[in-house]
């Protein structure tokens, strides 16, 4: 069985102090799928407009991503434009044109209903709940979110959280959701909302995993070059859940190992704009970096 | 043989959003000695004034710290007053009264000349060089510094660095010293200055160790309560070098393990003001936290 991801496929225009791209392939479901595709078959559910370039479709197909669930609607593709400063965090949004994504109502194709792992990328928590109703007993359900939903749809988000096994969010979101600045306290508080595994992403400072009886802290992979952090979180999720699908076991120790694979995939994502670098590395490159990470962290 | 530390013994007045202390026991050599004393005998070289409270002398003696090198001069003890904001970094200095510390010229007692490990805490790099001339072939020499010396005595600092085995500094200092914002590049650049081991301290984000052929990244221990970060870096150094003295081997793998012990000692330092918490834990408490750290990081 495959991994199902529901999220956005977008055309991103991104500027950082180290370069820029216009209308490049982006979106949460894109980054997730490309990363997860290194480990397992991925079924993607998203929507794009008629302007979506054929070459992006070809790229995703060549990565082995099943696109039966990618609807092409009349209108334009979701477009985002953002600009990062030297700290490469908190980009300034120049525009967000939701376009066809505004009316996105994810219909899961019958072939996708039985998925071993389901990833609900950052979309309206009501839509996340709608997807949950359509899938049949997945082995593992994970979801992401963003500050907008915490501020504006907290009730729906909390309802979704009661039904998922794993929740991924960044440190600012964890603080906003709990009103708690200390991340150890915030992580424990979020566990009480339902999910058995909470993953707090700290960007260049790594990742924390909270389970009922333990906490895991993994530093980031060290890089000399970081060009564009866009998509790092979704790429991380793709590496993690891809690894878990390949492993077939969702134990604490496998999730910890998956977090390292997610960290490695995210390290490639930020080295170049869009999915350029992710599209240019092999499974064996990735394995080498995994062993290099072991050298970086073992004692 | 013992560990020799040369640095400051001070009376600190510290305010954080979580409390305050007036004229509490502080100083780089104090924090270092208390931490290193958990593992090995420590010889302390520093200077205080006649106003230095007898109870602090008693406290240090009870920790097994040899005070033959602690000079009591006429005048007042070095006093620092600082105030931290909610981020608990970059305290605002209210005053720095060097007092007897201004004319500190560290004379190493003959009994201390043969020390296995020498730690040159953050003092004028010219004085660090002066100490180096007095000691006889230590197995390991380590030094710390601060932004003031990087800005005002860079030449003397670089001269000291040519003679030490290990150099500890924080991330802002690493960036200032090299003019390089990327820490991976900064660490490698500092290696070329002489020391075979460079340790960059990142506070709540952990520690990096640079060696000629490898980099090690250790996350911080997670805490629910952080009351005062003063002295964390010197406490870290004390835990690290104390462990190395106890181990007797200065290999890469022992240094990595020592970094974890340093991390554990620093975690106790920040939980309370001054050396209060460090003075109230046992070796067995510390070992338990070491194993808890292993659970936090293993995969």
First-to-last C-alpha distance (Å) of chain B = 37
Of B185, B256, B296, Cβ closest to residue A216: B296
- What are the extents of the domains in chain B? 3-297
| Block residue for tokens 């709940």 | A129
Low pLDDT (below 50) residues in chain B: none
Of A86, A182, A222, Cβ closest to residue B224: A182
| Block residue for tokens 């006889």 | B136
Closest-CA distance of chain A to residue B240, Å: 13
Q: Kindly report, residue by residue over A111-152, the tens digit of the pLDDT.
A: 999 999 999 999 999 999 999 999 999 999 999 999 999 999
Largest CA distance in chain B: 56
pTM for the whole structure: 0.96
Question: Which H helix or E strand runs over A23?
Answer: strand A19-26
Contact call for A185 and B224, based on CB within 8 A: yes
Backbone angles phi, psi at B105, to 5 degrees: -130, 95
Do residues A210 and A187 lie in contact, with contact meaning Cβ atoms separated by under 8 Å?
yes
Q: Is A240 on the interface with B (CB under 8 A)?
A: no
A81 strand-pairing partners? A13, A95
DSSP code of residue A270: T
- The dihedral through the CA atoms of A228, A128, A255, A183 has a sign that is positive
Contact call for B296 and A215, based on CB within 8 A: yes
CB < 8 Å from A in window 61-90 of B: 86
> Given 3.40.50.300, 1.10.1060.10, 3.30.230.10, 3.40.1190.20, which CATH number is that of B3-297?
3.40.1190.20
Q: How confident is the model at residue B5, as a pLDDT?
A: 98
B265: tokens are: 């000692």
Q: Kindly report, residue by residue over A71-107, the tens digit of the pLDDT.
A: 999 999 999 999 999 989 889 999 999 999 999 999 9
Q: Which of A95, A94, A101 shows the shortest CA–CA distance to A75? A: A101
Q: How confident is the model at residue A98, as a pLDDT?
A: 96
Do residues B59 and B25 lie in contact, with contact meaning Cβ atoms separated by under 8 Å?
yes
A291: tokens are: 């062993």
Q: Tell me the pLDDT band of A211, cut-offs 50, 70 and 90.
A: very high
CB < 8 Å from A in window 247-276 of B: 253, 256-257, 259-260
Q: Tell me the pLDDT band of A1, cut-offs 50, 70 and 90.
A: confident
Those residues whose C-beta lies under 8 Å from the C-beta of residue A273, and which sit 6 or more positions away, are A14, A16, A19, A20, A21, A24, A227, A228, A230
Quickly list H helices, chain A.
28-36, 54-62, 125-134, 147-152, 154-161, 171-178, 183-191, 232-247, 252-269, 283-297
Q: How confident is the model at residue B106, as a pLDDT?
A: 97
Q: How confident is the model at residue B1, as a pLDDT?
A: 77
What angle is formed at CA B85 by the lines to CA B79 and CA B88, rounded to 5 degrees? 80
SS3 A2: coil
Q: Tell me the pLDDT band of A267, cut-offs 50, 70 and 90.
A: very high
Q: Kindly report, residue by residue over B174-232, the tens digit of the pLDDT.
A: 999 999 999 999 999 999 999 999 999 999 999 999 999 999 999 999 999 999 999 99
């Amino acid at each position: 069985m495959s991994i199902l991801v529901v999220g956005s496929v977008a055309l991103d225009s991104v500027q950082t102090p180290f370069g820029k791209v216009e209308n490049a392939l982006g979106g949460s479901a894109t980054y997730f799928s490309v990363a997860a595709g290194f480990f397992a078959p991925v079924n993607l559910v998203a929507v794009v407009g008629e302007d979506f370039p054929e070459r992006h479709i070809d790229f995703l197909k060549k990565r082995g991503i099943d696109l039966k669930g990618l609807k092409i609607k009349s209108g334009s593709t979701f477009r985002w434009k953002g600009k990062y400063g030297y700290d490469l965090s908190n980009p300034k949004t120049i525009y967000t044109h939701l376009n066809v994504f505004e009316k996105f109502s994810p219909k899961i194709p019958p072939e996708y209903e039985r998925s071993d792992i389901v990833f609900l990328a950052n979309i309206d928590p009501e839509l996340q709940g709608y997807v949950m109703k359509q899938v049949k007993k997945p082995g593992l359900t994970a979801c992401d979110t963003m500050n907008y939903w915490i501020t504006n749809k907290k009730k729906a988000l909390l309802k979704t959280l009661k039904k998922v096994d794993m929740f991924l969010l960044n440190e600012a979101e964890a603080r906003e959701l709990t009103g708690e600045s200390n991340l150890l306290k915030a992580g424990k508080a979020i566990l009480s909302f339902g999910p058995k595994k909470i993953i707090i992403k700290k960007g260049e400072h790594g990742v924390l995993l909270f389970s009922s009886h333990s906490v895991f802290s993994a530093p980031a992979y060290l890089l000399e070059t970081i060009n564009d952090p866009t998509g790092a979180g979704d790429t991380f999720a793709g590496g993690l859940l891809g690894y878990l699908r390949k492993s077939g076991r969702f134990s604490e120790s496998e999730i910890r190992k998956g977090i390292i694979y997610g960290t490695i995939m995210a390290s490639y994502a930020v080295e170049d704009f869009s999915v350029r670098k992710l599209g240019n590395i092999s499974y064996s490159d990735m394995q080498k970096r995994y062993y290099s990470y072991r050298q970086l962290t073992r004692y």
